[in-house]
Amino acid sequence: MPAAGPAALTVIPPRLDTVRDTTASPSTSARPTAPADRSATGAIRTLGAHPATAPVVLHPGDAISASRRVVYIILLGALTALGPFTIDLYLPAFPTLQADFRTSAAAIQLTLTGTMIGFALGQLIVGPLSDKVGRRVPLLAVTALHVVASTAAALAPDLTLLSIARVLMGVGAAAGGVVAMAIVRDLFGGRRLVVMLSRLALVSGAAPVVAPLIGSALLTVMPWRGIFVVLAIYGAVMLVAAIALVPETLPAARRHERGATTVLQRYRAVFSDRVFVGVLIIGGMSFSGLFSYLSSSSFLFQETYGFDAQQYGLLFAANSLGLVIGVQVAARLAARFGPQWVLAVSTGVLVLAAVAIIVCDQLGLGLWGTMVPLFVFMTGCGFTFPCVQVLALDRHGKAAGTAASILGATNFGVAGIISPVVGWLAKDAGITATTMASVMVGCALIGCTALWAIVRPRTVERLAP
C-alpha cells in the first residue's frame, strides 16, 4: 500500500472493533467513515486499496513514510532555525555596532533584547491563531514580515530604527518555531513525538552552532548591514519553501472542537495543567541562563580574552556542540526513562556548571576555567529543552499551537528581560565570567526548584506509545 500523507487519513470512532466490522462490509469499505467525535487515543486508519485491512495507527504521522518524515524534519527544522539565525548571526558584530553607533555595550544588547521580546510577542499571536485558522496562513504572513523587517534593519540609519526593525524581525521569525512544533504535535504523539522533536532540534540546533561562524565569515567580506541582507534572503527562501512544501496538518474539525474554540479556552486549558506550568518555568529559566551567555559572550571573549571575530565564532561553535549532543542523547533517555527524570538530572547539572564558572573565574583559572564548565552548561541545556517541549506538547494536542506559543514566548520574553542584567551588573568593571555566570546560577536555581516543587517528577505519568 502506498504511503499516505495526513490528507489520506480518517479518524476511527471510539469503538475500534465496531469500525472493523462496518468497514469490512463490501458496501462500505470504499467509503471513509465520518464519526461524530475523535477517539480517546486519536487512532486513525490509513486508506488504500483495502481500507478494512489497513493498519490502525495511533497518530497521523505513524502512516507517513520515512523519507517524507525526513523532508518534514529538514524543512521544519530550517523554519525553526530562522529564529536562532535572526538572533545569533549578528552577535560577532556587537563590538562593530558599538563603535559605529558610538554607544555602550548595554545599548547594543538591547537590540538583542528587542528581538527576543518581538519573538515572544509574535509567538503569542501566531500560536493561538494557528489553532484557530490552521498552520499555513499565520506561517506565511509572519515569515513575509521577517523579510521586510530584515531589509529595514539593513538600511537603518541609527540605533533607534535598527532596534525597531529588530523587534519586527523577532515577530517575523516567531512563526517558524511555533508552527513547526505544532505540526509535529499534529502528526505525532507519545515516544515518537520525543524522537521527532529531537530530530527537529538536531536540525535547528545546528543554527546557534553555525550562525556565529557564518556571521564572522560574513564580516570579513561585507559590513554588518550585509548580515541583515542575508537574513532577508533566508526568510524569502523559507517563505517560498513553506508555500510549496508545508501542508495544512490541522483538520477543519479540530479548529472548532468543544472546549477549545476560543483563545481564552485554550489558555485556560494549558495553564490549568500543573505540569505545564512547571516545565514552562524550567524552560524559561534554562533559556534565560543560555541567553545570558549569548548576550555577553561576544564582549567576554573578544574584549576580556582578546579573541577576534573569527576566533570567537569558532570558539562559540565548539562550545555549542554540547547543546546538540545533549539534545540527541536526551531523546533516547527520555523515551526510556521519561523526560521528567532527564530533567531531574539536567537541572541539577545546570546549577553545578554555573557555580563552577564563578569558582574557576575567582581562582584565576583563565579561559579554560570558563570554557569547560560552560560546555557542561550548554550540554545541560541540550538535555533540558527537548524534555520541556515533550512534557508541554504531549499533554495538549488539541491546543498544540497555543502551548508551543506560550512555551516559546516565555523562553524568549523572560530571556529578553533577564539577559541585559549581565550588562547592568558589569556596568562598572566590565563583563566577566563571574558577572555572566551569576545570572546563570540564579536562573538554574529557579528552574531546579520549579521541577521539584511544581512538576514533581514522581507524579508525572509515563509517555504513551
Taking the whole predicted model, whether its pTM rises above 0.75 is answered as no
Which of 98-107, 185-194, 300-309, 359-368 has the least mean pLDDT? 185-194
Residues 215-256 pLDDT 10s: 888 988 999 999 999 999 999 999 998 888 877 877 776 665
Helices and strands in the chain: count of H runs, count of E runs = 16, 3
Average pLDDT estimate for 56-66: 63
Residues 152-211 pLDDT 10s: 999 999 899 999 999 999 999 887 778 888 888 888 776 677 777 777 766 666 676 677
* pLDDT > 70: percent of the chain: 79
Residue 200: name the closest of 168, 223, 218, 177 by CA. 177
DSSP 8: G
Residues 97-130 pLDDT 10s: 888 888 887 788 788 888 878 888 888 888 888 8
**Residue 427: all three cell numbers together:** 556596568
The secondary structure of 76-138 as a DSSP string is HHHHHHHHHHHHHTTGGGHHHHHHHHT--HHHHHHHHHHHHHHHHHHHHHHHHHHHHH-SHHH
For the chain, the 3-state helix, strand and coil shares in percent, each to the nearest 5, are 80, 0, 20
